[in-house]
Amino acid sequence: MKNYDFLIVGGGIVGLTVALEIARRHMGSVAVLEKEATLGMHASGRNSGVIHAGIYYTPGSLKARLCVSGARRLWDYAEEKKLPHSRIGKVIVTTREEQLPVLEDLLTRAKANDVRVEMVDEKGLSTIEPHARTVGNALYSPDTAVIDPKSVLTALADDIVALGGTIVFCAKVRRVCAEKRLVTTHRDVFQYGHLVNAAGLEADRLAHQMGVGLRYRILPFKGAYKKVSPDSPAQFRGLVYPVPDPELPFLGVHITKNVYGEVFLGPTATPALGRENYEGFSKIDFCRLPANFWYLGYMFVTNRNGFFNLVRSEIAKYSARGFFDEVRKLSPAIRPQDILACDKVGIRAQPFDCSAGRLVMDFLVEKGPSSTHILNAVSPAFTSSLALAEHIVSGITG
Ligand SMILES: Cc1cc2nc3c(=O)[nH]c(=O)nc-3n(C[C@H](O)[C@H](O)[C@H](O)COP(=O)(O)OP(=O)(O)OC[C@H]3O[C@@H](n4cnc5c(N)ncnc54)[C@H](O)[C@@H]3O)c2cc1C
């Protein structure tokens, strides 16, 4: 039996940054158990790679605080480690006049969160992002940046090992015995002093085994992307986002340019048939599907989190024509032939609060017996990760 003071389940960005924080503070021995053979097989390696500035989030919320400080720390980490990253900026554009008050609200939020933004008119937008379109005004965020997410995971793993930590691959945690503080994988048994559950899409299942967070259930939402042809006349300097629905944790289909200059459209936000249902009918979760559809149906009927509008817009995006119409609202320069199929897809681990009947919007960390459970680490958790890890580890020691 292997014994560690701290056992982290999940080697995504959250698990790795928590392990690094523990190792940096010299709190004791630390190991990360990762079920896959390599890093970045799930959300942390399949995201848009955007270092969000912190515009959207309710002032005072964990997301607002940790995104702003996390973005700065992630930028500094990328500089220090010489990882591919670039501060290319972003514009948030409106597609209808009725969205202008929401844009004003975003400006107020950004200022309250201490984020640098500027309201520009259509002429101003054309100088910043010539191929973007807005109706009236747009919000410009010069500090939004992009990074290569997998390079961050690799650098973190190297740092953990250099500080004496351990990363165990192909170690899927099957059972946790909270009383004896034992974790069983298919190969080994581990004893722990404190367990950190950072299992992403599986975090609720693990927590429930330990009697924690029973009111939360993760609903998987698929985010599929398309690519813009490099031959398209539509060229972008930075990122172009629509005004989001403030009730939803999703930002809508946007235009992102990665650190290598590739331009992507997406992600969508459609309910997935399983937690790892990345392709077609693979890995359908037949056991969970009926309950998941029940919760989704409930949100649709009661229009919780503006879910009715989400369903309507997602259905429209399902057809090539609908997707194109959505993208054209952001940039009239994109032509149908510029939109290429692409296999990039990620799945968001979005918790649903069964007691409140709503999606959980803020980061959620719950304590259990000798354990800490990260039950909501959706976007911008990648951006926030270094600050989120500090918050989580301070919660363990405090
Ligand atoms: C499409 C999409 C786009 C996004 N874009 C952005 C963005 O631009 N900027 C941003 O800041 N955020 C973005 N996000 C959010 C961000 O990617 C996630 O919030 C973050 O990656 C979550 O990290 P995690 O470590 O919690 O989860 P994961 O990356 O899913 O890591 C969890 C790990 O746990 C492992 N695991 C699960 N169960 C077990 C088990 N039983 N035993 C052992 N290991 C286990 C999994 O294999 C996995 O590696 C995006 C997310 C998606 C899906």
- pLDDT tens-place string over residues 194-224: 999 999 999 999 999 999 999 999 999 999 9
Q: How far is Cα 390 from Cα 40, in angstroms, rounded to an integer?
A: 21
- Whole-number Å distance, alpha carbon 42 to ligand 1 midpoint, is 5
Q: Give the position, in ligand 1's atom list, of the atom nearest the Cα of 49.
A: 8
Q: Give the position, in ligand 1's atom list, of the atom nearest the Cα of 13.
A: 25
With a Cβ cut-off of 6 Å, ligand 1 is lined by 9-15, 33-36, 41-44, 46-50, 52, 171-173, 198-202, 223, 267, 346-348, 377-383
- In the chain, what are the domain boundaries? 1-88+145-215+358-398, 90-142, 218-239+246-354
Q: What is the CATH number of domain 1-88+145-215+358-398?
A: 3.50.50.60
Cβ neighbours of 4 (radius 10 Å): 22
CATH architecture of 218-239+246-354: 2-Layer Sandwich (3.30)
pLDDT tens digits along 251-268: 888 999 999 999 999 998
Q: What is the pLDDT averaged over residues 270-277? A: 94
Read off the pTM.
Answer: 0.96
380 preceded by a cis bond (ω within 30 of 0): yes
pLDDT tens digits along 29-64: 999 999 999 999 999 999 999 999 999 999 999 999
Alpha-carbon distances of 168 from 31, 165, 183, 276, 387, rounded to whole Å: 7, 10, 13, 21, 24
Please state, rounded to an integer, the average pLDDT across all residues of the chain: 95
Backbone angles phi and psi of 375, in degrees to 5: -95, -20
- Whole-number Å distance, alpha carbon 228 to ligand 1 midpoint, is 25
pLDDT at 313 over 80: no
Q: Would you state the structure tokens that stand for residue 119, as one six-digit string? A: 């309201």
Strand 216-224: give its sheet, edge to edge.
Answer: 270-271, 216-224, 345-353, 358-359
Find, among 235, 386, 255, the residue nearest to 323 by Cα.
255
Report the pLDDT value the prediction gives residue 295, as an integer from 0 to 100.
92
